[in-house]
Chain A
């Protein structure tokens, strides 16, 4: 049987992990589509319902990219909000457009029994054994945690480098190493290399730099293209940027009930899939002397709209400014830059005044 050509929608840097997993665990070829661009988003938006959230459109566009690049098997993840229903509607739209492909919609397999996910993966590789899956799965999660940790470090320091693009070059080399990793050894080697390389980059950072915490909707917060590379823009102004939301923090190292305890002054229940994490992070930034918080989401993201009144209360209690930004297929780079510059000026002047 010929190898399947598998693809997954573009989502931040995580496609590198999925590539590793598909190649090492499922004995299939992984089709890594080109990076997301305005063209991807426009192609997705053209065939999507008008008022659906922006990640739906981006994902649809990137599935079309994958099909054009030769993929014959598409995978869609399950999810708690609208995301859990993306797959079915994506499939319907793509089939109505006439595309041919195998579609593995993990929402169909989320029955509460992990065994059922194994069934889904066996559609790609019928000989897949649970033991092999577990080993490669663990390696993939290692890679994922390394990517998230490295990215977090990157945005904390890249705004203070002495030589232009030092950080960016190192980060790109690390990503390339992850893209070509074939084994756990490759992953660990690249990780120790980047740790070392980051720490030897000369930086000039004040003792008390401006610090901004980014919170917000999962996809838009994590995916650089979807937030117009907001973190880079802020960091380049000379700011330390922190973001709690990542697959590592929200899924691998997540304990919702314990985070809930820290925010019980603000809410009694889990308000949505990422609400607990975001409210916790916002309160954490506010109580740790950060200079500002930026809340980002795709337009009309129900769970994130609903935590805004909570963020307003945190903002009032801790006297910390919060910038609220919504992204959709119409967002312009210039408009965003103007708002970020104004926000930066405001927090800088506030800090100087203190």
Chain B
């Protein structure tokens, strides 16, 4: 294969990692995998207004905010690295699907930037076709010119590192449930709540109002998947199942839920409805983020939600 020898000739190639969508889940695994095989990575950095505008310009206007930001991140990396990693993930197993956007992502990016001359690297996970995460990483390694053995070792090392870091994050997040105060669970996809421009300010603002925000997506994933079926037996999107299962696991320990979705999110458009119906009478605030950048509207809504929660905590109308 000509492609392999070409890469092998300059081993020190750089892989671009767009800081959107899958990055929130995969940053540790990717960074340690590429470090393990001896490649450099280049991150597109935190989302900012410029990234938003770059993405907005080259997106179909109906696409979701997170995909627009992602294209902005990809665009900012064009020409600065040998490959840009754009994985394709279809499903992890039965009733463990991804939103179809993750299945189209690689081809979407290639078609959007086909005149740029940039090379894109895929990583295809599709349980229906027996392509596991491990086989996808090994294949990606082989495509970059490494032997199967090297790629496998790098993957196992990276996976171990990823699991260790995850355990630390999980322990830290779960300690929050034991704190005293008004606890609010933020139910949002990791790529939204970890976004520096959109998601993080929401958690920060809740904190500044004296509440304790806890992320639903940082949870015992296996248990959450199991619990989600109690809330919604046919729910099929992996990440929505993790979030809803996590809400179910902790519903007795929290005072309210803040749902944060990108506009227009396909899975969330339906699961938000299930959450509002299932977890009543727990107060639920639903925030939908779009390309508007003003924060006053969101702040007002968070403030009034905080007022409601503290009013209830004091005994509500019965006080």
Contacts and interface: CB of A to CB of B under 8 A. Distances in A.
Interface stretch (B8-16, B102-110, B217-225, B303-311): B102-110
A88 B232 contact: yes
Given A267-B111, A269-B106, A302 B232 contact: no
A87 B108 CA distance: 29
Interface string B93-131: 010000111011011101110100000001010000000
B100 A272 contact: yes
A92 interface: yes
A85 B235 contact: yes
A312 B62 CA distance: 15
Given A88-B233, A303-B100, A266 B111 contact: yes
Contacts of B106: 268-269
Given A267-B107, A271-B104, A309-B111, A89 B266 contact: no
A52 B267 CA distance: 9
Contacts of A84: 234, 236
Contacts of B207: none
A51 interface: yes
Interface in B180-235: 232-235
A81 B100 contact: yes
B104 A272 contact: yes
11 contacts: A49-B273, A53-B266, A84-B236, A85-B236, A89-B274, A92-B277, A112-B94, A271-B107, A305-B62, A312-B111, A313-B111
A68 interface: no
A310 B107 contact: yes
A107 B232 CA distance: 12
Interface residues of B, number: 38
Nearest to B126: A269
Given A49-B272, A51-B263, A273 B111 contact: no
Nearest to B64: A302
A145 to B, nearest CB: 27
Contact of B101 (A89, A112, A306): A306
Nearest to A50: B269
A170 interface: no
A105 interface: yes
A307 interface: yes
Given A88-B234, A92-B277, A326-B62, A111 B94 contact: yes
Interface in A62-107: 80-82, 84-85, 87-89, 92, 96, 105, 107
Interface in A271-302: 271-273, 275, 299-300, 302
A114 B103 CA distance: 25
A271 B270 CA distance: 21
Contact of B100 (A49, A56, A80, A300): A80
A80 B88 CA distance: 16
B88 A269 contact: yes
A331 to B, nearest CB: 14
Contacts of B64: 302
